[in-house]
Structure 1
């Protein structure tokens, strides 16, 4: 005999069943889900030796971002010119500079993508335009103690290549890039 699946029946079943936590980000998923609703991690269960290795590999994503040894954030004040921001990008060989406000809080991010799409061929006098006019304001940020999985999730969701890491006051302390995460993963897998 089959009972009709009503909303209340489904909710009771969900509440009485076990949680299905994502090994990558810890999100509580609906049991039986193939992929994490939060980060997209494959949740399909495999049997045998692969499970242990998969769980060990997933554990690196729970490590704090500080383990990536992120480089110091290169910053310019919001009144700096586009020319000054580009000079810093070039001299430090970085893909972005962080733009700070009067109290050194993070105000925005200016990336090499901004140079390609907002500056190149469109603006002639780079010495007279403040970087704040072309920066991306209020960028998404993380803290050094946040898990690597959170950075990957933000990067995948929004197409970011860089994420500023800030202290509790919102001041930039460092920056991580997608390249940093890939390098860390390569090092972790070759070491094991």
Structure 2
């Protein structure tokens, strides 16, 4: 479910970000939209797919999360390596017949491309998760960002800044 930034949340995020002097992590960076991070196209499975299918999909694509959609193609959940470790590992599930909808994180926090990096990082920190689905106005997944994407962007920008000196 997309977390729609209230005016107060946006104002607070912008105020905090613009008052911080963090060099590369300046308010200017933190106030940029998620589009700046060039989110990856999401890899998607259906909520009716078996746990076994989704685990194979994760392994075959060397990824740590997959977005789960309902029969209309709208975001209904996310399944991550953490879900596997906390909900499936050492449990008695029939991986071939149990649908991923029974173990996924349902209605995950999501954002629009217009959301800020500061707000997304705040959501991840307070929510204890590392991935945020990016959805359009109708809740169709269009991307995903992770903490790793933010770190990679910061490193690229630092390297670019060093090359300019």
TM-score under structure 1 length normalisation: 0.72
SS class of match (1:26): helix
C-alpha distance in 1, partners of 2:19/2:115? 22
1:62 equivalent to 2:50? Answer no
Residues 71-121 of structure 1: per-residue CA shift (max 9 Å, x gap) = 111111110000011111111111111110111110011110011111112
Aligned residue pairs total 151
1:174 equivalent to 2:143? Answer yes
Instruction: Answer with 1 or 2: which has the greater Rg.
Output: 1
Given candidates 73, 95, 99, the residue that maps to 2:64 is: 95
- Whether contact under 8 Å (2:78, 2:106) holds in the other structure is yes
> What corresponds to 2:114 in structure 1?
145
Given candidates 14, 30, 34, the residue that maps to 1:26 is: 14
5+ residue gaps in structure 1? 1-20, 28-35, 45-50
Q: CA RMSD in A?
A: 2.2
**After the TM superposition, which residues 103-142 of structure 1 pair with which residues of structure 2 at under 5 Å, given as runs?**
103-142=72-111
Q: Which has the higher contact order (CA 8 A, sep 6+)?
A: 2
Where is the helix percentage greater, Structure 1 or Structure 2? 2
Q: Which aligned segments of 4 or more residues in structure 1 are displaced greater than 2 angstroms?
A: 41-44, 53-58
TM-score under structure 2 length normalisation: 0.83
